[in-house]
Structure 1
Amino acid sequence: MKPTPAPVPLSGPRFRTEPAALYRELRREHGAVAPVVLDGDVPAWLVLGYRELHQVTGDPVLFSRDSGLWNQWERIPADWPLLPMIGPRQPSVLHTVGERHRERAAMIGNAIEAVDPHELRAQAEKFADELIDAICAKGQTDIVTEYAALLPARVLARLYGFSDAQGPGLVTALNDLVNGREGAAAGRQHLASSTVRLLAERRAAPAHDVASRMLADAAGFTDEEITHDLMVMMVAGHQPTADWIGNSLRLMLTDERFAASLFGGRHSVAEAMNEVLWEDTPLQNVAGRWASRDTRLGGRPVRSGDLLLLGLQGANSDPQVRTDGSAFTGGNSAHFSFGHGEHRCPFPAQEVAEVIARTGIEVVLDRLPDVDLAVPAESLTRRPSPWLPGLTELPVRFTPVPAL
């Protein structure tokens, strides 16, 4: 039996500079399952092993998504900043289990699958071009805050049924929510009120959008259930996709293997995007699963009601499955970046995210063909979020060009 080491805070400056190295150290020092503490000294287990993560996500009975099992609820204040991401006990698809979960996942998948792929690509190009038009004459910009962090929300807002005017407010709310800091509760409230208004409008006047299709689903979900599911879809669809764009552009601007793509070629865009999913995945940790009974995992004593955090990035880099240390490129998609098991990201949603991200990257390369990093690569920093530690900025320079 392994002795239980002192828990490690799942926060700190290294999440902003070198998260990949931090996960490697955690695995060396603590093994496949590391004891951690969240804000307020709330204990949890971080699952870093590939096989252990496969076990947790593949056994929804032993490792449940029902946050009501948590043995720490009595310690959690109503204003705890991580509460929106950990999982308040609300009726969203994230926290339902069994047959009801499968019905809700099918409802969401069907609503997204009905999105016309040509319309999706056209909308992504339209919004991407508008964003580039706003910066292309300046010769320099922060491609994260002025482009990548805005594009997915604008596309998803249109697909789901929100008005274009609501896009900027939704971006701010979503970023505050996932950062898990002081503005998290206010961000969640803005997203919730916007979604409630959208569903009321679509209940009165259905349209050709995802919200209307969810309301029309024959399984008969309540407006409250659909509200929570749409909120989950906005959070899960926007920020990870924005970080997928930012992390992929960072890789292409700092790794000479992708230099050809920066000068008119596109053949390496998909390869860079796939490598990011292995090496620098946008969603690095997920909360979570709760043990339904006492058990053992990776040699650790997991008690009934314990919270397990899914260390997606840690598992992707597990040396037990990465024996040669190589990057998984060329289409290998056995990573955990979209999750695993019955709670994994629905395939239609993965396709939407990939279209938005790839279109966003290609528009940058088409419109700003000599784009280059404007600061030393080692000076780039990330958000302090333990969940989505994307880049805080990506300053670039380029030859000024006229707007379209």
Structure 2
Amino acid sequence: MGPGGLRRLFGHEAETDPMGLYERLRAEHGPVAPVLVNGDIPAWIVLGHRENMELARTPSRFSRDSRHWREMQEGKVPPDHPLAPLTTWQPIANLTEGEEHERYRKAITESMGRFDRRGIRRHVTRFANQLVDEFSADGRAELVSQFSEHLPMLAMTQLLGMPDEYGPRLVSAARDMLKGTETAVASNEYVVMTLRQTVANKREKPAQDFTTWLITHHSELSDEELEQHLRLVLIAAFETTANLITNTLRMVLTDHRFRANLAGGHMTLPDALEQVLWDEPPFITLLGRWATGDTELGGKPIRKGDLIISGLAAGNVDPEIRPDLSVPVHGNRSHLAFSGGPHECPGQDMARAIADTGIDALLARLPDLRLAVPEGELRWVSSIMSRHLVALPVEFSPHRAIAQGGTTGQTELPLTVATAGAPLPDAAVVAVAGVSEPQLRRSWWVRLLRSLRRH
């Protein structure tokens, strides 16, 4: 317990058992609990599903503008504070409200809307095959470091128009930033410096990519606004998608509910992704919102300037809405994984597309993929905002690499330009039951099912 009996959202308890910590807080305080963040700064964490939605949907009471933060105004959150990269106010969509927020959000969503979604999926498949080529002949792999962390960054560097070789260092810097470590500020500076160079390159040599479209958008973003929004998109997409891929793969390999449903032909990969977004959301909390005045939430008195943290993972298992966690939630997208309200994640469908396309490609290549260690030996690491597997070791029958640099030999589709604002369709993944024989022969679902029946 921290000063005055408050629990910390950092340190041993939070890092080793965050879900247990949230349940202890729920038992002690109800849907909204007082806590301490780094530096023993007081805050509130919202644990209830309904209270989280109220928090997200009432920006007039709970603003994303960190300039309301009383402790920051009082100088208790210096520039080198571990949370500074995530909370220091910047001219950016997730830290503004009203007309300013609408201007920024429209620039992001309309630029994203110009991508050809088939081209995105084709590029993700190509990158996934390239990653699998690096270990397919070994018969063993560690999927977090060799697949899940690198695929989203490869995809995002492609979409932003950056060289592929930027990916590995950006993976390390992004993870460090989100952990809120002592080197988080330096890692943030590296990311910003890289994006600053990317903006300069695209001003000199425009191309058909997100960076160029953001530069030329009618909102006329400044260089600082461009850099910070590229940072927001890159980091959020990386962490969300890397964790979603890893958690879904773990579920495929270990969860008996998934195996049973797969055997009956009732669960598709999009179903599995949504189940994971309920049970293990990529971000377990979201920093932060700040009270614009004295108010109340979940029966607790909130003072003007208080920091309020969205407990996404805790809200998703709120017994008020999920009294039995063993019951699947297929087709239900009312989870908190992408927040809600005017600040709901604008790139959530792209995260789903990268995840289900990448996993589909991996399992098509390695249909007998299986966990290489007992499930109980899997280890997790947590920070204030995220929780992810340290490693996911697997084994499989060795396979040769695909020719021509990991491509499928099919004609490459361009990333450009679709109808602006066109919705991203769900993955074209079908259940085993009810598909034609040619589809069955090439379906990884069937190959995986046969493998699961053997193990």
Q: Can you list the C-alpha shifts for 1:294-325, whole angstroms capped at 9, x where unaligned?
A: 11111212111000000011111111111344
Divergent runs of 4+, >6 A = 260-263
How high is the TM-score relative to the length of structure 2? 0.84
- 5 Å-filtered alignment, 1:274-285, equals 274-285=274-285
**Secondary structure, counterpart of 2:388 in structure 1:** coil
For 1:334, what is the secondary structure of its paired residue?
coil
Flag the 1:388–1:17 CA change in 2: closer, same or farther, 3 A: same
Partner SS, residue 390 of structure 1: strand
How far apart are the structure 2 equivalents of 1:39 and 1:320?
30
Does the residue aligned with 2:333 lie in a helix, a strand or coil? coil
Query: Partners of 1:67 and 1:259 in 2: how far apart?
Result: 45
- The equivalent residue for 2:342 is 342
Superimposed CA distance per residue, residues 149-192 of structure 1 (whole angstroms, 9 cap, x where no aligned partner): 00001101101111112111211111111111122112111110
Whether the aligned pair in 1 keeps the contact of 2:16 and 2:382 (CA below 8 Å) is no
Which residue of the other structure, out of 390, 393, 398, is the alignment partner of 1:392?
Answer: 390
In 1, Cα distance between the equivalents of 2:147 and 2:24? 33
What is the alpha-carbon distance in structure 1 between the residues aligned to residue 43 and residue 35 of structure 2? 5
Q: Shift of residue 267 of structure 1? A: 4.9
Match of 2:362 in 1: 364
Question: Who is 1:382 aligned against?
Answer: 380
Q: Amino acid of the residue matched to residue 21 of structure 1?
A: G
Matching residue of 2:47: 48
Name the structure 2 match of 1:31.
30
Instruction: Report the CA distance between 1:329 and its aligned residue.
Output: 2.5
Q: Which residue of 2 aligns with 1:78?
A: 79
Aligned partner of 2:99: which letter? E
Gaps of 5+ in 1: none
Q: Deviations over 1:75-109 (max 9, x none)?
A: 12322122212x11211111111011011101100
Find the aligned partners of 2:106 and 2:204 in 1 and give their Cα distance. Answer: 24
Letter in 1 for 2:396: F
Asked if residue 286 in structure 1 is aligned to residue 316 in structure 2, the reply is: no
Please give the secondary structure, in 1, of the residue aligned with 2:382.
coil
Alignment partner, residue 234 of structure 1? 234
Q: Which moved more, 1:318-327 or 1:60-69?
A: 318-327
Q: Quick check: 2:127–2:154 contact (8 Å CA) kept in 1?
A: yes
Instruction: Give the C-alpha shift of residue 327 in structure 1.
Output: 3.9
User: Residues 8 and 36 of structure 1 are in contact (CA less than 8 Å); yes or no, is this contact kept in structure 2?
Assistant: yes
Task: Report the Cα offset of residue 380 of structure 1.
Answer: 1.8
Whether the 8 Å contact between 2:140 and 2:396 is mirrored in structure 1 is yes
**SS of equivalent to 2:43:** strand
> 5 Å matches for 1:1-400?
6-73=5-72, 74-85=75-86, 87-259=87-259, 267-346=267-346, 349-400=347-398
1:24 positional shift: 2.2
Superposed CA RMSD in Å reads 1.9
State the distance in 2 between where 1:46 and 1:20 align: 13
- 1:258 Cα deviation after fit: 2.7
Q: Once the 2 structures are TM-superposed, how far is the Cα of residue 196 of structure 1 from its aligned partner? A: 0.6
Query: Aligned with 2:45: secondary structure?
Result: strand
Q: What amino acid is the match of 1:361?
A: I
In structure 2, the CA distance between the partners of 1:359 and 1:378, relative to structure 1 (3 Å rule), is same
**How far apart, CA to CA, are the structure 2 residues paired with 1:79 and 1:154?**
30
Unmatched runs of 5 consecutive residues or more in structure 2 = 403-455
